[in-house]
Amino acid sequence: LVRARRTLQDRAARQTVLAELGRRALTAPDVDDVTGEVLALAREQLGGDLVCVYELRPDDGLTVRIDDAERVRLRGNVPAGRDGHARAALAAGAPVAIPNLAAARPSLDGDLPRDLGAVSGLAVPLLRGGVPRGVLSIHTRAPRVFGPEDTAFLTSLANVLAAALDRAATDSELRRLAVTDPLTGLANHRGFTACVAEALADTRAGVRTGEPTVLFMDLDGFKEINDTLGHGVGDALLAAVAERLRAGLGDRVVARLGGDEFGILTVGPADDDALDVADIVTVLLSEPFGLDGVVHTVTAGIGVAVGPGGEGSAEDLVRDAHTAMYRAKERGPHERELFDPATRRHLLAELSMRDDLRRALDRRELHLVYQPIVSLRGVRRLVHVEALLRWQSPTRGLVSPADFIPLAESAGLIVPIGRWVLEQACRDVTRWRAERPDLRALGVSVNVSAVQLREPGYWGEVGAVIDQTGVDPTLLGLELTESALMDSGELLAPVQLLRDVGCRLFLDDFGTGYSSLSYLRSFPVDVLKIDRSFVGGVGQELGDSAIVAATISMAHSLGVEVVAEGVETGGQAAHLELVGCDYAQGYHFSRPVPAGQVPVLQERFARTARAASDAA
């Protein structure tokens, strides 16, 4: 009776211990702590000398942790042939008790616990997901027969430990997924930044030699591959690029930072020059990629940033490489750029201007001025005006369009700004028509970027503005640059839609792009504007004069009218009239004027025309 009571007390105590251990197994941050408690409890409750935990590796080998009653602890891989008892439990998927290790069959000669003096042992499998993934065993240096209570308790400990190991494995996998790109298996942006931070810290602490260097790479033309061949091909190409970088860059950290952007971290010897690594990447990408029988040639823009002495943050270093990459891409495909601190200052200035520009429209800092376009046939008459955008900033003063228009395009601000310009120009021309009957035929043109034309429904917006303001659409001109039309063949459809609305199309800055009249047959151009760089030499430079005359002649043969830009002298105007140019624009006639001065300008031209008529 006493023995039965003691057995019940021991069983209750063990259940209490197991319950507390189970709770800790689900909450303890370090699985090693739980493992240590399991081994200690097994030795304490079962009276063992050696307690072992074996874990099955992916290569089917075993790692072991052995806690000895004599405070000896061993960790490491188990040599083949020295894991017989553990292998027996794994194979059986059930507890295996061996009272006499020396007499076991098959022989356990060389078994690790036996070599450490074990005589008897009990091994139970660690079941994870119902599959044996390891073994918990206890051994004694004196003969011992382990009974059912012992087996039950050790099995319960094994279950607790298996749960702890499962949780640790799940946590580890979640941490891995959080820093891993699922498509390529490379580090993602978060994982890459963590690696850069570690490299910078090691460099500051003197753990590593060499300077941490980040390369930020963006594939050239990847969007076109995605758009034309589909995302499946695009993903396959990204995976192939990732594998080639991983295989070719050795122990350097390679990451996919998002989209078609990749990062490379190198912390090498002093002669491992940053640009040399960029050259290695270029060579790696030079071999075409074959996907589903189609060969793809890949190039990339690469930005490089070096963290001297490990200074700065990881975010700063990645950002600097990103900035340098954009500078490389601006120069064209297949370029590389080493980050210069001046680049950062330039970028910060751009960001500041961009923020100011976002607010400029709401704050009414933008306004329009108008430059007249004058007829060269007979008496000089005001026939058209070009709307020119100006930005009067309270902090920057008058900002040049050459500075803020490209910024507006890159920041996506050109669309709302362009809409405002169109609306304001149409309101102004409507007001002029109401004020002066002789301005009812005055046309107005606004500059339109390729970015605006690519906006879905842009032509519909133009039609809506025409309806709202009541402007005659035949008096509205839309000016596009030659390079924008030539670089974007897909603009033909929206351009034609704008013609269908009734607008006229002006081809601006002719001569600065492809300088070819052949494509005028494809695009419905009404008016061609010869760039000022050619006009400046007419009447003086034979080359410029010949080019201008030939352009006018060919344009007229296609039914296209011609405006000469940048006319600054009466001699230029006279020569242009002589060679048949239709219209002229420039300081010789007038500088750009505010909207309120256009009627005054018209009165000036009217007086000149009346004086010429009276003189005749």
User: Which SS3 state, helix, strand or coil, does residue 262 take?
Assistant: strand
Identify whether the C-beta of residue 356 lies closer than 8 Å to the C-beta of residue 396.
Answer: yes
Task: Tell me the HSE value of 368 on the side-chain side, using a 13 A CA sphere.
Answer: 26
Q: Residues 210-235: pLDDT tens digits? A: 788 999 999 988 888 877 778 888 89
- Residue predicted with more confidence, 3 or 278: 278
pTM: 0.57
User: What DSSP state is assigned to residue 187?
Assistant: B
Identify whether the C-beta of residue 153 lies closer than 8 Å to the C-beta of residue 137.
Answer: no
pLDDT at 208 over 70: yes
Q: What is the CATH number of domain 351-606?
A: 3.20.20.450
Dihedral sign, Cα of residue 515, residue 545, residue 556, residue 506: positive
Residue 128: what pLDDT? 79
Q: Residues 177-202: pLDDT tens digits? A: 888 999 999 999 999 999 999 999 88
- Identify the CA nearest to 431 among candidates 592, 599, 593: 599
Interior CA angle at 349 toward 411 and 321, to 5°? 80
Structural domain boundaries of the chain?
A: 2-177, 189-339, 351-606
Q: What average pLDDT does this structure show over 369-392?
A: 94
Residue 301: what pLDDT? 92
Residue 484: what pLDDT? 66
Residue 155: both structure tokens together: 């099995």
CA 232 – CA 337 distance, rounded (Å): 31
CATH 3.30.450.40 is held by the domain 2-177: yes
CATH 3.90.420.10 is held by the domain 189-339: no
Identify whether the C-beta of residue 462 lies closer than 8 Å to the C-beta of residue 418.
Answer: no
Judge if 189-339 and 351-606 fold alike in CATH terms: no
**What is the bridge-based pairing of β-strands 336-338 and 300-306?**
parallel
- Residue predicted with more confidence, 192 or 203: 192
- Residue predicted with more confidence, 532 or 227: 532
Residue 270: what pLDDT? 44
